[in-house]
A and B are shown apart, each in its own frame.
Chain A
Amino acid sequence: MHIRILEQFSRSGKHPVFLLVIAMLMIAGNKPCYAEDKVVLIAAKGSGIESISNRDIRRVFLGLKSADSDFVNKPVINLYNRELYEDFLKNVMHMTEGTYKRKIVKRIFRNGTEEIKEVKMLDELNTHLTSNIGDISFVYNDVAEKMHDIEVVKVLW
């Protein structure tokens, strides 16, 4: 139906602003809306991680040891949702993806540290965290609630 309306307006060419608004609404409608969702730091249940500052999360995701908790092990980058990953870099790491990648590469070749694990599937993330107690990652809160044997360590934003 809306396609026919669009065709009608595009033929007449009288309402370009209206067309633009419709196009924007269609784009917005196809985009997953997570603006209202909280983003949380997660670990396996029983990890023992009680509190960790955003500053310390940044350190851990740069490949450094946690200064806040002995129970924090390794970070896992969640690439299931690209927008979430970019928001995490912006809100927690305070850097662009390019800068982050280069920092990690520097550390690998300067200190011989391990690469930071990346996962693209939520099932894989769930399995990894429950198999590696103390590893941490980030997901939307509603996603965390659906994962098995996972606890929320902290609300990130």
Chain B
Amino acid sequence: MAEVQGKGVQKLLAVVLVFTILFICKPSLADIKLNGFGSVAIGTVVEGEEFLADYPKTGIYNNDLSLDPDTTLGLQLSSYFTDKFSLIAQLAVHGASDYDPEIDWLYLNYYLTPELSVQAGRKRLPLYYYSDYFDVGYAYYWIRPPPDVYTWQITNYNGVSLLYETALGQWDANLNLYYGSEESEDNDLLSLLFDASVDETWKNMIGIVGTMSNNWLELRLTHMHGLIDRKISGVSVINDIEQQFLGISVNFTFDSLLILSEFNNYRQPENDVEYNAYLISFGYQIGKLTPHITRSSFKQEINVLGNDEQHYTTSVGLRWDVVDNIAVKVQYDDVVDEGVIVPVKGDSSSISFAVDFVF
């Protein structure tokens, strides 16, 4: 058996030890709540050479067994100063980022009314359906959300947001408005794709996310508009270029049958860049087991630069809810990479196992 690859196995063991202690004896103070989540995953490519499992953090499996691409551990601290005013902070370590701690969330939340709240600080950029809890593997049945769809290079923003949650007849509804920006030096994904150091800034982002749900149906619509600056090896190649993101998710829950879908369109009109991505997935709960099958795809229209990134994936997997807050997963992913000028990692088949937990 191949030796398990790990950029920082010792670092991971130290983090796992801390998490084990917290998992067993979760500390709780009167107005401070601590929650944790983790995914310890191991996988390998069984056919082909490499599998890009996590685009934003560039978690890549190869022919060796590896712990790094999908392993994530995180802690969330919620401090309630009053019933209306709280501070939310989330710290996470990712194997794909060499287990260096990163602050994903750090914001103040204030309830203006029971239904309307305002947030200020650092948050997840809510482009996709699973954006907000992308790292919380326990919250979905895959080992990771389908990579073809989650191809974002910027995952957070610093700014302000308004969240309105209400009931409309038989529907729960919420509306999230946000404004902010994010700078990423030596961006992981773009530096991989361009094979050079890339600095990326998304600024003046204005977004809206609307969700409606009832007992069996959930609809989510999202739109973001903003500007991009990009430097490759220190040379400015994009400056104040407009970008637009439009996404729709439709999810059904028919008792034990789950049907999940997501469709996204991204455009840079001035640069003639446009791509479409989608996923459709079926899961069926049989007691504590949830087998599932998913098809996802990414297709970039050929533009004047000849970019033709195209790939699709078929995934089958099984989630087993061992106990209340621990799930074990196994997943097989078959990737077909049809990009000619811009291939990502080529065709591959891979298998991965994960243990997800929350506390």
Q: Which residues of A does B touch, CB under 8 Å?
A: 55-56, 58-59, 62, 64-65, 67, 70, 94-96, 98-99, 101-102, 105-106, 108-115
Q: Which residues of B does A touch, CB under 8 Å?
A: 33, 35, 37, 76, 78, 80, 86, 88, 90, 105, 109, 114-115, 132-133, 136, 138-140, 163, 165-167, 170, 172, 215-216, 253, 255-256, 258, 285, 288, 290, 321, 324-325, 358
B215 in contact with A94 (CB, 8 Å): yes
The chain B residue sitting closest to A105, CB to CB, is B139
Contacts of B86 in A (CB 8 A): 112
**With A96-B255, A101-B324 in contact, is A106–B358 under 8 Å at CB?**
no
Query: How many whole Å from A79's CB to the nearest CB in chain B?
Result: 10
In the bound assembly, the distance between CA atoms of A111 and B88 in angstroms comes to 8
A114 in contact with B78 (CB, 8 Å): yes
Query: How many whole Å from B344's CB to the nearest CB in chain A?
Result: 29
Contacts of B256 in A (CB 8 A): 96
10 pairs, A vs B, C-beta closer than 8 Å: A58-B215, A59-B167, A65-B115, A70-B114, A101-B321, A101-B325, A108-B35, A110-B132, A110-B133, A111-B163
Most chain B CB within 10 A, of A58, A102, A112, is at A112
Contacts of B88 in A (CB 8 A): 112
Most chain B CB within 10 A, of A64, A96, A109, is at A109
Contacts of B170 in A (CB 8 A): 55
Query: How many whole Å from A147's CB to the nearest CB in chain B?
Result: 26
The chain A residue sitting closest to B256, CB to CB, is A96
B253 in contact with A102 (CB, 8 Å): no
Q: Which 3 pairs of residues, A with B, have the shortest CB-CB distance? A: A112-B88, A94-B215, A110-B132
In the bound assembly, the distance between CA atoms of A58 and B35 in angstroms comes to 23
A56 in contact with B139 (CB, 8 Å): no
**With A110-B132, A112-B76, A114-B78 in contact, is A105–B167 under 8 Å at CB?**
no
Which of A62, A106, A115 sits near B35, CB closer than 8 Å?
A: A115
Contacts of B105 in A (CB 8 A): 112
Query: How many whole Å from B253's CB to the nearest CB in chain A?
Result: 6
Contacts of B258 in A (CB 8 A): 99
The chain A residue sitting closest to B33, CB to CB, is A114
